[in-house]
Amino acid sequence: MKSFRRWADLPPDFLCCIGDRLELKWYASARGVCTSWRRALVPPSPALLVIAKSDSCYPYAAASLPTGRSFELTAFISGWRCVGSSNGWLAFSVHETVYVLLNPIAAVQIILPPLNYGDEYNSHWDWWVSKIVFTPSTAKDDFAAAAICGIDRIAYITAGATRWAFMGVRLSGEVGDKLTDVVYTDKGKFYCLSMYGDVHVLRLPARRCRKPANAEEAGSSELKFSVLRPLPPARHSSIVSPLCWENYQMLLMSEDEVPPSQGRRLNPPATLKPLLPRFGPTTLFAPPYDTVRDFTSAKNLVFCDGNLYQVWRNESCTVTLRLPAGGQRRVAENEIVVLKYCPGRQPSWDVVKDLGGYSLFVGTNNAVSMYAEGVPGLRGNCVYWIGGRATRNKGMVFDMKSGRSTPCRAPQAGSLPGGHDYSTVCWYFMSDVINNSYNGSRQNVEE
C-alpha cells in the first residue's frame, strides 16, 4: 500500500508559496497547524495599520514587517477614527459619538455607549477621546476598556454596563499638563501617563463573564453586539468590503438605540491612585531629564519583560537647553529617551540605553514589547513609533545605540491593495504575540 506523507512534512518553500496567497485570517490559522508550519511561515506581526482614502469608504490594510507583504482588511465608512488597537482588535470613534470595538479578521464588533452623557461637560474637548485600550481576549460578555477623555479624565466601561464611568485624574498643576497615554497590563489595571511624566493606576475589580448582550437575548438596556455579515455585491463597489456597508447601517441604528441613563447595569467601582505618593520633577527624574521632560511632548508607557518604561520623544524642532545647575543639553528633533521605573529608588525613573534585545512599539495601539532579535524585518534595542513633523504618517524606528530614527522596513505603497495612497494609523498585532504590555508574568512594579 502506498504511503502518504504527513502535512507537517510539506517542504517549507512550497508551504511559503501557499502562505503568500492566503488572507490574514487563514495565514494566521495555517501557522497554528503544527510546529513545522509555524517555523516555516514568518509571523505576520508586527504590522502597520494603514488606510487609503476613497470616495465613501476607507480601505484598511495590515502592512507586515516580518513578511514584507500587506494583508487587506475591511473598509469603513468615512468618519471612522481609529483610537486603539490590541490583539487583532481595533477601537474606533465614529463621528465622535459612537465607539466600536471591532475585530476585522473575525468580522465581529461590539458597539459601546456614547461618552457624552448629561450636561456636566458641555465642551467638545471635555469628551474628546484620544485613545482607548482594552483587555485581551475581548468577548461580548467579558471585556473592559478605558479611554483618555479630554485633558484629565479616564473613562472606563465593562461588559454589560449601559454607560461609561468617569474618574478625574489629579494632575501636577503645571501649565500644559494633560493625560497623554494609557496602557492595559493585567488583573484589571490600566496605567495612565501625564505630559509631565506622572503615572496613575486605574484598578478594576476582578472581571467575571456576564450574560451575553446581543440583539436576540438582551433588552434595549444592554450593549449591542453583532456579527458582521456581507450584503449582496450590488450594494457596494468592487474595491469596498461589504462589511463597510453593514457597519454603517448598524451604527445608524445604534445612535438612536443607545440606552439613556435608565437601567441598573452599571460598571463596578474602581480605584484611581498615583503610582508614587509624591510628584516632583527632581524626585522622579535625575538631571538633566527633569528639564528634558518639558521638551518631549510625545510620551508613552510600555511594559517590557515585567518592567515599566516611559518613552519620551521630542516631536518639535531641535533645541538646546540651559540647565538649572549649569551647562547645556541638546535635544534633537525626534530624539527618544527611554526611562525605566525603579521602585523604592529616588529618582524613581532611570534612563536606559539597552533593552536586552527587546523592541518597543508605541502609538495609538496598546503599547507592545517583543523580543526582536532573529525576527525577520525587525531590530532589537529599538523603539518603533509613528509620526513626526517631517515623517508624518510613517512608521519609524529609533536605534537606541546610534540615537537616530530611520523609516522602518515595510511594504511599499505600490504593493498595498487597491493602488491608493496610504497613510499609517498605528501598530497592529495579532493575538499570538509573546510579550506585550499586559504580560505580567514577571511584573516588577510596586504600587
For the record, the C-alpha cell of 325 comes out as 545647575
pTM of structure: 0.84
For residue 263, pLDDT over 60 is answered with no
Q: Is the pLDDT of residue 302 over 90?
A: yes
- Residue 244 pLDDT > 60, yes or no? no
Ranges of beta strands (E only) in 244-367 are 271-274, 298-304, 307-313, 319-322, 328-331, 336-341, 349-351, 358-361
pLDDT tens, position by position, 72-85: 887 666 678 899 99
Range from 10-19, 38-47, 112-121, 275-284 carrying the lowest mean pLDDT: 112-121
Cα distance between residue 369 and residue 159, in whole Å: 27
Polymer length of the chain: 447
3-class secondary-structure state, position 195: coil
Distance (Å, rounded) from C-alpha 336 to C-alpha 325?
23
CB atoms within 10 A of CB 419: 11
Q: How confident is the model at residue 331 (pLDDT cuts 50, 70, 90)?
A: very high
Q: Output the pLDDT for position 256.
A: 41
Give the three cell numbers for residue 167: 474618574
Q: What is the average per-residue pLDDT within 192-215?
A: 74
Percentage of residues of the chain with pLDDT beyond 90: 47
**Which distant-in-sequence residues (6+ apart) come within 8 Å of 361 by Cβ?**
46, 302, 367, 368, 369, 370, 384, 385, 427, 429
Q: Give the pLDDT band (50/70/90) at residue 431.
A: low
Mode of pairing for the β-strands spanning 358-361 and 382-386 = parallel
When pLDDT is cut at 50, 70 and 90, the band that residue 114 belongs to is confident
Evaluate whether 104 touches 73 at the Cβ level (below 8 Å).
yes
Nearest alpha carbon to residue 438 among 133, 45, 148:
133
Tell me, what DSSP letter sits at residue 232?
P
- Secondary structure element (H or E) that encloses residue 257, with its range: helix 242-257
C-alpha cell at 250: 448598524
Instruction: Return d(Cα 167, Cα 425) in angstroms, integer.
Output: 28
93 backbone dihedrals φ, ψ, rounded to 5°: -100, 125
Residue 251 CA: distances (Å) to CA of 58, 90, 226, 437: 16, 16, 11, 31
Residue with cell 483618555: 148
Q: What is the pLDDT of residue 308?
A: 97
Angle (deg, nearest 10), helices 12-19 and 24-31: 150
Q: What is the chain's mean pLDDT, rounded?
A: 80
Reported as type and span, the H/E element at residue 292 is helix 289-292
Percentage helix, strand, coil, to 5, in the chain? Answer: 15, 35, 50
Comparing CA positions, the residue from 438, 435, 315 lying closest to residue 385 is 315
Distances (CA, A) of 237 to 81, 181, 418: 22, 38, 12
50 close to 422: Cβ distance less than 8 angstroms: yes
In the chain, domain spans = 6-41, 42-428
CA distance 300 to 364: 10
pLDDT, one tens digit per residue, over 162-190 is 889 999 999 887 888 999 999 999 888 99
Mean pLDDT of 206-212: 51
* Residue closest to 365 by CA, chosen among 423, 440, 293, 302: 302
The answer, yes or no, to whether residue 372 has pLDDT greater than 50, is: yes
Instruction: Give the burial class of 227: count Cβ atoms within 10 A of its Cβ; 0-12 exposed, 13-18 middle, 19 or more buried.
Output: exposed
